[in-house]
Amino acid sequence: MEEPGRIHFLDLGAGQNPDRIKALAMRHPDRRIIAVDIHPLGDFEPLPPNAVYVSSNVLQYLKTLKEKSVQIANADFLLNEMPDKEIMELIRHIKKALAPNGRFYISEDRQNVEDIRRMLHQHGFSTRARELSAEEAMEPKTWFTQERIHHPHRWNESRKNMQVTWPVRIVAVKRQKR
């Protein structure tokens, strides 16, 4: 098992379905996996012992984390729901919580990507971004992306003017100080 207090994978805005953390926890039984969402966990079978679901405001939860305690953080379509001020606060707390060379993975709609990358760069992250392919969007690990593409009416009020584009995946790396 990882050292106490260490989080291998932190899923922010995870949603009420624990499939992703359950799969990760089963694949990595020696690593701690945590999902955070403002909504309570739905009625599902129990999580593996190394997986935890936290019902909390994401920013409030991030404030409780120890410095350099997270290896990988993930946020799928969370930042587009936040004002820029809160995004900057989230990035600041992620930077504090990430271990050196830790990764922050973000999936967002294309129109938000450059603003998010600019904010990450302001906090010292190096980034790269690429559009997800149709094949990647169909993989179970991107279930949220798949849901948005196949059921866009759930995400947009007007279907007439909608243009569905593949989302962009940003990888932000907290560089180790030399």
pLDDT tens for each residue of 26-42: 999 999 999 999 999 88
Residue 71 — pLDDT band, cuts 50, 70, 90? very high
Structural domain including 36 reads 7-174
Q: Is residue 1 part of a domain?
A: no
Contact 99, 68 (CB under 8 A): yes
- Please give, one letter per residue, the 3-state secondary structure of 151-166: CHHHCCCCCCCCCCCC
pTM of the model: 0.83
> How many separate domains does the chain show?
1
Residue 139 — pLDDT band, cuts 50, 70, 90? low
Residue 165 — pLDDT band, cuts 50, 70, 90? low
pLDDT higher at 99 or 16: 99
pLDDT value of residue 133: 75
Q: What is the CATH number of the domain that holds 97?
A: 3.40.50.150
Q: Is residue 131 part of a domain?
A: yes
Q: Is residue 49 part of a domain?
A: yes
Q: Is residue 148 part of a domain?
A: yes
